[in-house]
Chains A and B, each alone.
Chain A
Amino acid sequence: MKSFFKYFTGIFYGVKSLLSGLSVTGKYFFSPGAIVTQQYPENRKKLEMFDRFKGEVVMPHDEKNHHRCTGCGICGNSCPNGSIEIIQDKIDTPDGKKERIIGKHIYHLSMCTFCGLCIKSCPSNALAWGQEFEHAVFDRSKLTKILNKPGSSISKDIAE
């Protein structure tokens, strides 16, 4: 008798538990507005990333094509996997001395782990995070970027 009773209460509680689960899924079934996910490729135009989002490392240039990089190479040394290569240039200053400036700031996006140490360690705040995130390309060499733009030079307030 006891097992008989147990059998039926088991069925009763089983059905009840299934119904309580169904009530939750049913709620969403009748209000699909509550579960909409990001409609990604469609909302590309409106999509805004957070301003701290780590998309890639960039070197901001101002409107006169000035950047803040002195070419010291600290960022390359603090990078854990050698994603940054610095090629220095030597120029003659007007007072007859030789000075080192940045020639090419080469950044391998394909190797970067987005740790942020280069940006943190740069003494002149020359690097920043860019918000671009659609990095897929057909050719790997496109992921090697030169961060200082052609014809750019160091901004006056850093050089002094």
Chain B
Amino acid sequence: MKEDINPPVRNIEEEYHINIGPQHPSTHGVLRLVASLKGETVTSLKPHCGYIHRGIEKMCEKDTYPQVIHLTDRMDYLSAHINNHVVCLLVEKALEVDVPERVQYIRTIMDELTRIASHQLWWGCFGMDMGGQTCLLYGMRDREKILDAFEESCGSRLLHSYYTPGGLMKDIHPNFQKKVKDFIKYFRKKIHDYDCILTGNVIMQERTKGVGILTKEEAIDYGVTGPTGRASGFSCDVRKRYPYGVYDRVGFKEILGTKGDTFERYMMRMLEMRESMNIIEQLIDNIPAGDYTAKMKAVLKLPAGEYYQRVESARGELGVYVVSDGNKSPYRMKFRSPNFSNLSALDHICRGFKIADLIAISGSLDFVIPDIDR
């Protein structure tokens, strides 16, 4: 065990080890990376997780199913709605509840807004990792509009706990539709600014093109999903393959790349933001009338058995596996978090590249550390 934490020094004259993190601005949280270097070139990389492990899976075992929802918020806090969604879908599937159309529409819109907000923040952070601080301010500014719309309907900006098994906490606010439409009109203009500042920028292109290549086979081997996996050409969009919500009723493209380098991963998210706006535009005017929650029993008991449900979070495939023994709380709950699998590929991706590229590569994988550690 000890050897793991302090990797054995193999050849003291040629190789040395450098600690990045746990408190490093470009790890976006408490992640510790031990890089072995030969000169400036990374020869291997060991991620050490667990600094923000809160035992969420264990805590779920004593909570009832409605109580589990608020814990999932705290895993991948940038896609809180989507995390809520996966548990709700699982409970609804197990209890065979018919969720009203209205709820499904609202959930899909909320999920896509979350995705845009998450990618906006990522864009800002990625720009900052590359040395462009302006990006962070612009990303944050535009994200604010979405958070305002969330706050008005859900009551909070980051950890919403808005979905409940069977429906929603509250109906959307009367202003919600207008706010979202205003935002889309606004952001269609602003995303052009994003392209001018960062996408076309020669420094950023030189630093990312051909850097950190992950091939399709490797992406599948490591279980890398989400925009990162799709940049390598791995068609893994859960929204297309196992549709939930109303994704089967809207027209949208699965964005696929070919090269799998850092720039391609960047482009995936830029294009996905546009695609999410298309999805929202198709739905926002057609939300059917109806209840905002299905009739549920006061105490939810899943029939004994095993259940699995997956959704597409902003970072990849988020799965939840539940073993129920028929009680009101799960016997075992396991989350398959996208970031954990994506992190496992980092060592492979960054070998042979310079240490400065490591920051760009890890930025393009878009880690949220609480989701890795749970």
Contact A24 B196 (CB under 8 A): yes
> How far is it, in angstroms, between the C-alpha of A25 and the C-alpha of B132 when the chains are bound?
11
Smallest distance from the beta carbon of A159 to chain B beta carbons, Å?
Answer: 23
Q: B57-72 toward A: CB 8 Å interface, digit per residue (1/0)?
A: 0000001101101110
Q: B342-371 toward A: CB 8 Å interface, digit per residue (1/0)?
A: 000000000000000000000000000000
Q: A52-B173, A80-B70, A120-B169 are in contact. Are A17 and B152 (CB under 8 A)?
A: no
Q: Closest A-chain residue to B204, C-beta based?
A: A17
Contact A115 B69 (CB under 8 A): yes
Contact A52 B202 (CB under 8 A): no
Q: Which chain B residues numbered 109 to 166 have a C-beta less than 8 Å away from chain A?
A: 134, 137, 141, 151-156, 159, 161, 164
Other-chain contact of A78, B67, B134, B203, B205 (Cβ < 8 Å): B67
> How far is it, in angstroms, between the C-alpha of A140 and the C-alpha of B198 when the chains are bound?
46
How many residues on chain B are close to A (CB under 8 Å)?
31
Smallest distance from the beta carbon of A38 to chain B beta carbons, Å?
Answer: 9
> How far is it, in angstroms, between the C-alpha of A23 and the C-alpha of B198 when the chains are bound?
12
Contact A25 B70 (CB under 8 A): no
Indicate whether B251 reaches chain A with its CB closer than 8 angstroms.
Answer: no
Q: A35-B141, A115-B161 are in contact. Are A21 and B152 (CB under 8 A)?
A: no
Contact B151 A53 (CB under 8 A): yes
Contact B152 A52 (CB under 8 A): yes
Contact A52 B134 (CB under 8 A): no
Contact B154 A14 (CB under 8 A): no
Q: Closest B-chain residue to A123, C-beta based?
A: B298
Q: Closest B-chain residue to A129, C-beta based?
A: B155
Contact A21 B200 (CB under 8 A): yes
Other-chain contact of A25, B151, B153, B197 (Cβ < 8 Å): B197
Q: A25-B134, A50-B155, A129-B155 are in contact. Are A17 and B202 (CB under 8 A)?
A: yes
Indicate whether A54 reaches chain B with its CB closer than 8 angstroms.
Answer: yes
Q: A17-B202, A53-B155, A120-B169 are in contact. Are A113 and B70 (CB under 8 A)?
A: yes
Indicate whether B193 reaches chain A with its CB closer than 8 angstroms.
Answer: yes
> How far is it, in angstroms, between the C-alpha of A78 and the C-alpha of B200 when the chains are bound?
52
Q: Majority SS of interface residues in chain A?
A: helix
> How far is it, in angstroms, between the C-alpha of A75 and the C-alpha of B119 when the chains are bound?
37
Indicate whether B286 reaches chain A with its CB closer than 8 angstroms.
Answer: no
Residues of A within 8 A of B154 (CB): 52
Contact B200 A116 (CB under 8 A): no
> How far is it, in angstroms, between the C-alpha of A10 and the C-alpha of B169 when the chains are bound?
55
Q: Closest A-chain residue to B132, C-beta based?
A: A21
Q: Closest A-chain residue to B71, C-beta based?
A: A80
Contact B164 A52 (CB under 8 A): no
> How far is it, in angstroms, between the C-alpha of A20 and the C-alpha of B67 when the chains are bound?
50
Q: A14-B202, A52-B155 are in contact. Are A24 and B193 (CB under 8 A)?
A: yes
Q: A80-91 toward B: CB 8 Å interface, digit per residue (1/0)?
A: 100000000000
Q: Which chain B residues numbered 69 to 108 have a C-beta less than 8 Å away from chain A?
A: 69-71
Residues of A within 8 A of B69 (CB): 115
Indicate whether A137 reaches chain B with its CB closer than 8 angstroms.
Answer: no
Q: Closest A-chain residue to B141, C-beta based?
A: A35
Residues of A within 8 A of B197 (CB): 21, 24-25
Q: Which chain A residues numbered 9 to 50 have a C-beta less than 8 Å away from chain B?
A: 10, 13-14, 17-18, 20-21, 23-25, 35, 37, 50
> How far is it, in angstroms, between the C-alpha of A116 and the C-alpha of B154 when the chains are bound?
10
Central interface residue in A113, A115, A120, by most chain B CB within 10 Å = A115
Indicate whether A117 reaches chain B with its CB closer than 8 angstroms.
Answer: yes
Contact B159 A116 (CB under 8 A): no
Contact A20 B200 (CB under 8 A): yes
Contact B202 A114 (CB under 8 A): no
Other-chain contact of B164, A10, A18, A21, A120 (Cβ < 8 Å): A120
Residues of B within 8 A of A52 (CB): 151-155, 170, 173
Residues of A within 8 A of B6 (CB): none
Residues of A within 8 A of B200 (CB): 17, 20-21
Indicate whether B201 reaches chain A with its CB closer than 8 angstroms.
Answer: yes
> How far is it, in angstroms, between the C-alpha of A151 and the C-alpha of B208 when the chains are bound?
68
> How far is it, in angstroms, between the C-alpha of A54 and the C-alpha of B71 when the chains are bound?
17
Residues of A within 8 A of B63 (CB): 80
A-B contact pairs, 29 of them (CB 8 A): A14-B202, A17-B201, A17-B202, A18-B201, A18-B202, A18-B203, A20-B200, A21-B196, A21-B198, A21-B201, A23-B196, A24-B196, A25-B197, A37-B141, A50-B173, A52-B151, A52-B154, A52-B155, A53-B156, A54-B155, A78-B64, A78-B66, A80-B63, A114-B159, A115-B67, A115-B69, A115-B70, A115-B161, A120-B164
